[in-house]
Amino acid sequence: MLKKLASKWEGYMFVIPAVIYMLALIGYPLIYNIILSFQDIDLQALNTGDGSFLGFSNYIDLIHDSVFWISVKNTLLYTVGSVVFQFIIGFLLALFFSMKFRLASFLRGIMMVSWLIPLTISALLFRFMMGSEEGIFNQMLLSIGIINDPLPWLTSPDMALWSIVLANIWVGIPFNMLLLSTGLSNLPEDIYESASLDGASVIQKFFHITVPLLRPVILIVMMLGFIYTFKVFDLVFVMTGGGPVNSTEVLSTLSYRYSFDDFNFSMGAATANILFVILFVISLIYLRMIKKDEVM
């Protein structure tokens, strides 16, 4: 009995330091963010230490700010666009590399590089390739004759957001492919064999066996993709900085701009809180989904 109690206590000794660390550096800031968003903290208030209490006025200002709504719309378009395409392409590639050939796993592994490289660098690469004059994208499209005039990838407000989505898809494909590959490799082969005996075509097998069996993995991949894409910052920050004319502003860059360009820390905090609430709700859905196969 005593021994059991001791071991219980030992368990906490192992677990608690990391928990305290995360509570101090994530939990406390989250709460502080809420307090900040009800105050009026600018650069001067920061140095003197007193900010007046404003109530909800920051949030009210925010919902009257047209750029805020542009950011919300952009964040959603950006996320949905990225998730859908990186999932489809990632899935196709996962299927391709699940065929048994010599270089399959090596080649699949190498593609992970685009996910691990700093986003600042990926953003810079795309900014370079998407230049209207010297950019290789336009050069290639012009030479094949798909377009007659250079595309204004990052300079047109109508196109810039989708150009960043393209970069994000590139970054996200390997991650989708990897998880889906793992899922595919865990599928029982005998079902496919018996389906083949029944005369099922490849496409039938895909839609009647692969997709239903992979359903849990597919949902998780899409959810994680959503969560990781929704918090996008670096790509937008480096590729366009939110421009031209706010056309690529997303919630995280808007929050950053309020805090560190305008030094209106309270507005920055309010924007961040809205971003947090949306993500939190989605995270809860995700958690419910994975709880089934989690060994708790």
Partner 1 sequence: MKKRQKEWLLNILGIFIVFVFLFPFFWMIVTSFKTQSEIFQIPPTFLPVDWQFESYQEIMQNNIVQNFFNSLLISSLTTLVVLLLSVPSAYGLARFSIRGKELFILLFLVTQMLPATVILTPLFILFNQMGILNSYAGPILACATLGIPFSVLILRTFFLGIPRELEDAAKIDGCNPLSAFVRIVMPLAMPSIIVCGAVSFFFTWGDLIFSITFNRSQELWPLTAGIYNAIGQYGIEWNSLMAFATISALPVLIIFILLQKRLVKGLASGAVK
Partner 2 sequence: MKKQVTWTLGFSLIFSLTACGGGDGEGSDDVTQEEGTTNGEPEEVLIWDYFTGVGQEVFYEQVDEFNNSQDDIVVKTEYVPFDQIKQQLSVGSTGDALPDIVNIDHVDNAALASQGVLADITDKVDEWGETEHFLEGPLNSTMYEDSYYGLPYTSNTLGLFYNEDLLEEAGFSEPPETWDELEEVAAAFSNSDVNGFGIAGERSEESTFQFYPFLRSAGADYDNLDSPQAVRALDFLDGLLENGHMSSDVINTAQDGLTNQFTTEDLAMMVNGSWNIERIKDDNPDMNWQVTEIPRDEEHASVIGGANLSIVEGANEDPAWEFMKWLMDPEQLESYAADSGVFPPRQDILDESDFWENDEYLSSFVPIMEYADARGPSPHWPDVSEAVQLAIQESFTDSKSPEDAMNDAAEEVSHVIDD
Radius of gyration of the chain measured on its C-alpha atoms:
24
Q: Work out what residue 152 binds among partner 2, partner 1, none; the CB cut-off runs from 5 to 8 Å by kind.
A: partner 2
Contact 153, 130 (CB under 8 A): yes
Instruction: Return the range that interacts with partner 1 (CB under 8 A); candidates 25-33, 55-63, 66-74, 197-205.
Output: 25-33
Asked whether position 56 contacts partner 1 by CB under 8 A, the answer is no
- CA-nearest of 51, 27, 49, 20 to 37 is 51
- Among 227, 243, 247, 289, interactor with partner 1 by CB under 8 A: 227
Asked whether position 275 contacts partner 1 by CB under 8 A, the answer is yes
- Among 181, 210, 240, 248, interactor with partner 1 by CB under 8 A: 181
Bond prior to 188 in cis (omega within 30° of 0)? no
Q: Work out what residue 159 binds among partner 2, partner 1, none; the CB cut-off runs from 5 to 8 Å by kind.
A: none
Cβ atoms within 10 Å of 258's Cβ, excluding its own: 24
Taking residues 227 to 246 in sequence order and writing x for each that binds partner 2 by CB under 8 A, - otherwise, the string is: ----------------xxx-
Between 91 and 265, whose beta carbon lies closer to partner 1? 265
Query: Phi and psi for 145 in degrees, rounded to 5?
Result: 90, 15
CA distances from 285 to 6, 256, 267, 274, 288 (A): 37, 27, 28, 17, 5
Instruction: Return the range that interacts with partner 2 (CB under 8 A); candidates 9-17, 31-39, 131-139, 190-198.
Output: 131-139
Between 208 and 282, whose beta carbon lies closer to partner 1? 282
Asked whether position 136 contacts partner 2 by CB under 8 A, the answer is no
Asked whether position 281 contacts partner 1 by CB under 8 A, the answer is no
Cite the beta strand spans of the chain per DSSP E. 39-40, 52-53
Asked whether position 49 contacts partner 2 by CB under 8 A, the answer is no
CA distances from 202 to 33, 104, 193, 206, 207 (A): 53, 20, 12, 6, 9
Q: Which of residues 137-166 bind partner 1 (CB under 8 A)?
A: 139, 143
